Amino acid sequence: MYATGLICRECGTTYDAEARYACDVCFGPLEVHYDLEAAKGAVTRESIEAGPASIWRYRALLPDPGESPVDLGAGWTPLRHAPRLAAELGLADLWLKDDTRNPTGSFKDRVVSVALSVARRLGFTTAACASTGNLATSVAAHAAAIGWPSVTIIPFDLETSKVAMTAVFGGTVLGVRGNYDDVNRLCVELVAEHPDWAFANVNLRPYYAEGSKTLAFEIAEQLGWRTPDQVVVPVASGSQLTKVAKGFREFRALGLVDGPDPVLFGAQATGCSPIATAFANGSDVITPQRPDTIARSLAIGNPADGPYVLDELRRHGGDCGSVSDGEILEGISLLARTEGVFAETAGGVTIASLRQMVERGTIDRTKTTVAIISGHGLKTLDAVVDQATHTAVISPGLADAEEALRFTQLVAAS
Ligand SMILES: Cc1ncc(COP(=O)(O)O)c(C=O)c1O
Ligand SMILES: [Zn+2]
């Protein structure tokens, strides 16, 4: 284990590895710090390849999970070559990091596995979170698997599947009449009242966030220990994007990859695009926005890591997409039709943003590009049921079937 403790991202003050998320000196956010010098040479491609087919193959580069991690099998999801989608978008070499293939169907299983492992090591016995949906599902599932009670707090009017997929695990699910930013404010107050609850993305946030580094680690390893040139990441609070950047940097510092750090690109829905707006305006200030988009999982109007996302986007000449609800639905459909991957609305945001940034020339068509598909389409069926339905409804007779088929592509092509 090479994690040494926590460090303030603003002033560099260091702390022990405890349940603390803000700096006493400057109130800046804390993150986990590693002794990369000591890890260099000790953490090798071979030592990683010998590990399990989950995020825990990178255990040496994650916070200490204690004796054994809280593990439903998050991570080591497929990196799929996507030539048909690439051709559609005019890209030479496109890959999909298919994080629909996680235990509860989203990348949140990575961050929750890390957060609850650390929480258990620190002596917590109750799991909690503020969520736009996917995090709640993952916290409820991981808590159930270790026999912990959970308290997950979400906007009450989320997609039916997300509420059901969370409630089924038997924890307490609080639906708040308000948006995620209201939920988050409430949870900050609840942490003060219940310091013995492990809120994955509040008091355990520094550890939770580290789980997203494994996306970068896996992408590089699966490309044959090579970094891609460009990576497109969906952005809500901005935690995922900033930690994907950190993951690539750590692999380079350890000499585990060939190639420079990739250029990072963000993806947001126009109905909740405070970071895309600040980026487009060349501003360092994120103006909070009241979300109004079908991409409920990305509906965070006041993103905690916003300024750090802007830094990462600008570091190597990236960009940030901003796409309408119509474009999101087209993105879901395009991905499904060309590559057989069914994504939730966040995936639609990623694909539509990719298309937008290719068209305006900020994404280089000739370079190796990875798009992170962070959640499964079954989670947001509500968004697609109107357009994704029967081609025809017929009686069970051959004549009726043939009649209906005459109007379909199948017959037209034969
Ligand atoms: C499916 C999905 N993708 C991406 C994100 C964005 O994550 P972050 O808040 O780390 O930016 C979320 C956040 O809830 C999500 O649920
Ligand atoms: Zn500080």
For residue 200, the ligand closest to its alpha carbon is: 1
- On the question of pLDDT at 115 being above 80, the answer is yes
Please name every residue paired with 343 in a beta bridge, in sequence order, or none if there are none.
376
Closest Cα to atom 9 of ligand 1: 237
Q: At 95, which amino acid appears? A: W
How many whole angstroms from 313 Cα to the centroid of ligand 2? 23
- CA–CA distance from 88 to each of 268, 330, 334, 360, 405 (Å)? 21, 13, 9, 16, 27
- On the question of pLDDT at 409 being above 70, the answer is no
How many whole angstroms from 390 Cα to the centroid of ligand 2? 57
Q: What is the pLDDT of residue 259?
A: 87
Q: What is the pLDDT of residues 229-267, one digit of tens each?
A: 999 999 999 999 999 999 999 999 999 998 899 999 999
Q: Is 348 in the pocket of ligand 1 (CB under 6 A)?
A: no
Q: What is the pLDDT of residue 58?
A: 98
Q: Is residue 128 part of a domain?
A: no
Query: Residue 209 CA: which ligand 1 atom is closest?
Result: 10
The chain-wide mean pLDDT, for the chain, equals: 97
Q: Is 236 in the pocket of ligand 1 (CB under 6 A)?
A: yes
> Token pair of 130, please?
């503020």
Q: What is the pLDDT of residues 13-55, one digit of tens each?
A: 999 999 999 999 999 999 999 999 999 999 999 999 999 999 9
> Token pair of 70, please?
């809280």
For residue 29, the ligand closest to its alpha carbon is: 2
Q: Is 375 in the pocket of ligand 1 (CB under 6 A)?
A: yes
Query: Residue 240 CA: which ligand 1 atom is closest?
Result: 10
- On the question of pLDDT at 367 being above 90, the answer is yes
Write the CB contacts of 8 (distance below 8 Å, at least 6 apart in sequence): 14, 15, 23, 25, 26, 28, 29, 30
**Burial class (CB within 10 angstroms; exposed 0-12, middle 13-18, buried 19+) of 37:** exposed
Q: What is the pLDDT of residues 203-219, one digit of tens each?
A: 999 999 999 999 999 99
Q: What is the pLDDT of residue 258?
A: 87
Q: What is the pLDDT of residue 376?
A: 98
Query: What's the whole-number mean pLDDT along residues 101-120?
Result: 98
For residue 10, the ligand closest to its alpha carbon is: 2
- Complete DSSP assignment for 334-362: HHHHHHS--B-HHHHHHHHHHHHHHHTTS
As for how many domains the chain has, the answer is 1
Q: Is residue 166 part of a domain?
A: no
- Orientation of helix 213-222 relative to helix 239-253, angle to 10°: 50
> pLDDT band at 407, cuts 50/70/90?
confident
Q: Is 184 in the pocket of ligand 1 (CB under 6 A)?
A: no
Q: What is the pLDDT of residues 281-316, one digit of tens each?
A: 999 999 999 999 999 999 999 999 999 999 999 999
- CA–CA distance from 344 to each of 80, 162, 292, 294, 358 (Å)? 17, 11, 17, 10, 22
* Residues 261 and 251: beta-carbon distance below 8 Å: no
**CA dihedral sign, ordered 41, 42, 46, 52:** negative
Q: Is residue 111 part of a domain?
A: no
Q: Is residue 356 part of a domain?
A: yes
How many whole angstroms from 277 Cα to the centroid of ligand 2? 27
Q: Is 237 in the pocket of ligand 1 (CB under 6 A)?
A: yes
Q: Is 235 in the pocket of ligand 1 (CB under 6 A)?
A: yes
Nearest to 72 by CA among 133, 40, 114: 114
Q: Is 293 in the pocket of ligand 1 (CB under 6 A)?
A: no
- CA–CA distance from 20 to each of 105, 185, 204 (Å)? 29, 17, 7
Write out the residue range of the structural domain in which residue 232 sits.
79-105+209-384
Query: What's the whole-number mean pLDDT along residues 365-377?
Result: 98
Query: Residue 106 CA: which ligand 1 atom is closest?
Result: 1
Closest Cα to atom 4 of ligand 1: 234
For residue 349, the ligand closest to its alpha carbon is: 1
Closest Cα to atom 15 of ligand 1: 297
Q: Is residue 6 part of a domain?
A: no
> pLDDT band at 408, cuts 50/70/90?
confident
Taking phi over 0 as left and psi of -120 to 50 as alpha, with beta for the rest, 264 belongs to: beta
Q: Distance (Å, rounded) from C-alpha 311 to C-alpha 104?
A: 31
Nearest to 91 by CA among 387, 274, 334: 334
Q: Is 275 in the pocket of ligand 1 (CB under 6 A)?
A: no
- On the question of pLDDT at 387 being above 60, the answer is yes
- On the question of pLDDT at 112 being above 60, the answer is yes
Q: Is residue 263 part of a domain?
A: yes
* β pairing state of 79-81 and 30-34: unpaired
Place of tokens 């109750």: 126
Place of tokens 């009017």: 157
Q: Is residue 70 part of a domain?
A: no
How far from each other are the two terminal CA atoms of the chain, in whole angstroms?
A: 61
> The domain that contains 313 carries what CATH number?
3.40.50.1100
The pick from 104, 110, 268, 297 for probing ligand 1's pocket by mutation, whose C-beta has the most ligand atoms within 8 angstroms, reads 297
**Burial class (CB within 10 angstroms; exposed 0-12, middle 13-18, buried 19+) of 49:** exposed
E strands of 51-92, at which residues? 79-81
Q: Distance (Å, rounded) from C-alpha 321 to C-alpha 348?
A: 12
Please name every residue paired with 8 in a beta bridge, in sequence order, or none if there are none.
30
* β pairing state of 150-155 and 126-130: parallel
Displacement of CA 217 from its chain's centroid (Å) = 14
For residue 239, the ligand closest to its alpha carbon is: 1
Q: Distance (Å, rounded) from C-alpha 71 to C-alpha 271?
A: 35
Q: What is the pLDDT of residue 410?
A: 63
- CA–CA distance from 64 to each of 34, 71, 246, 354 (Å)? 11, 14, 18, 36
Q: Is residue 223 part of a domain?
A: yes
The percentage of residues in the chain with a pLDDT greater than 90, rounded to a whole number, is: 97
- On the question of pLDDT at 414 being above 90, the answer is no
